[in-house]
Chain A
Amino acid sequence: NAGVMQNPRHLVRRRGQEARLRCSPMKGHSHVYWYRQLPEEGLKFMVYLQKENIIDESGMPKERFSAEFPKEGPSILRIQQVVRGDSAAYFCASSPQGSGTYNEQFFGPGTRLTVL
């Protein structure tokens, strides 16, 4: 049973370009979460999605960031017109159930985004 997959593992973009980060949850998991870790900080929640639905995006910056989890395929975190402050490690997690139950989230290896 493969774990949470993220790709690419490392992504380098110049300021103003777009970054697309992909996440495939564990088999049987339909709940996906994106977190961001800035240097010397803990993981900060960004968005929670189920298939074709954004459930909670309270941690997403209002501009330039978007996320989707289509019926088929991986979840995508998209950052438009990247700036240097977007440089961070982006982690995806999945769980078999969402809020209303106690269950851990399983994390992928992360994508390290570097903006030049």
Chain B
Amino acid sequence: DQQVKQNSPSLSVQEGRISILNCDYTNSMFDYFLWYKKYPAEGPTFLISISSIKDKNEDGRFTVFLNKSAKHLSLHIVPSQPGDSAVYFCAASSLTGNQFYFGTGTSLTVIP
């Protein structure tokens, strides 16, 4: 049972444009959400997080939006750079939980 879903396996964006990666979840107990970035043959690297008391969190070029009623979050990257090309995983957890639930990832390609 996939509790966190990333329905777009891949995304291509021109350098300088906005990249929007989407994530949906089903468990209403989730209250902490994260985005990880992963390069081939490396482990996931933490990018940005948001707790359910917020609907937006910004860190430089990266902004995460949370829509609790729709059980949806998105990651915006502006402006996109070729070095952003990687697989992006959405993850969710609860304050009382012990694990992160990961989506299947979206492979982002930023075209120079």
Contacts and interface: CB of A to CB of B under 8 A. Distances in A.
The range of chain B's interface size is 20 to 34
A23 to B, nearest CB: 11
B89 A42 contact: yes
Contacts of B36: 107
Contacts, number: 64
B96 interface: yes
Contacts of B95: 99-102
B99 interface: yes
A102 B96 CA distance: 10
Q: How large is the interface on A (under 10, 10 to 19, 20 to 34, 35 or more residues)?
A: 20 to 34
A45 B99 contact: yes
Contacts of B105: 42
Given A41-B104, A42-B104, A43-B89, A55 B43 contact: no
A36 B44 CA distance: 12
Interface of A: 4, 6, 33, 35, 40-45, 48, 55-56, 58-59, 91, 93, 98-102, 104-110
22 contacts: A4-B43, A33-B98, A33-B99, A33-B100, A41-B104, A42-B6, A42-B105, A43-B44, A43-B91, A43-B102, A45-B100, A48-B99, A91-B43, A91-B44, A99-B96, A102-B32, A102-B49, A102-B51, A104-B46, A104-B49, A109-B43, A110-B43
